[in-house]
Amino acid sequence: MRQVYETNVFGIVRVTNAFLPLLRESAAGRILMVSSMRGSLAEPGAWAGQPSMPYSSSKTALNALTAHYAHEPKVNSACPGHAATDFNAFLGTRTPEEGAVAAIRLATVGPDGPTGKSFHDGRELTR
């Protein structure tokens, strides 16, 4: 559990805090967290199958970080879905390209776009 949190929570905080001074100076600064439906406490699909407590709870914490960083340049999190990557032995039901759509959309959101939100397939997730 500590190793998962070190990567999915504490590592994200260290990298985000390191880049904040530069992002604050940028006219189009964006922070994009990569989360998961597993991080939601209320989405129907979040508890499908056999969720891993370390992974799921670390993504819940990441969604909370997204909300806490919302006062900074645009900060959002994307949930790519079950994309076929080496993380899941390429057993995902989506291609990596399909999983990347939400991240690309949020990384290029305009100045009036959302901040502090988590999205999956263009829909804001319930925390």
* One-character DSSP codes across 11-45: HHHHHHHHHHHHHHH-TT-EEEEE--GGG-SS-GG
Q: Which domain holds residue 53?
A: 2-124
**Catalytic residue flag (residue 69):** no
* Residue in 5, 55, 74, 117 annotated catalytic: 55
**Catalytic residue flag (residue 55):** yes
Convert the pLDDT of each residue in 71-115 to its tens digit: 887 899 998 888 888 887 888 889 889 989 989 999 998 988 999
pTM: 0.86
CATH of the domain at 90: 3.40.50.720
The residue among 37, 58, 57 whose CA lies nearest residue 49 is 37
Name the domain count of the chain: 1
| Average pLDDT over every residue of 60-77 | 91
* Residue in 5, 59, 69, 117 annotated catalytic: 59
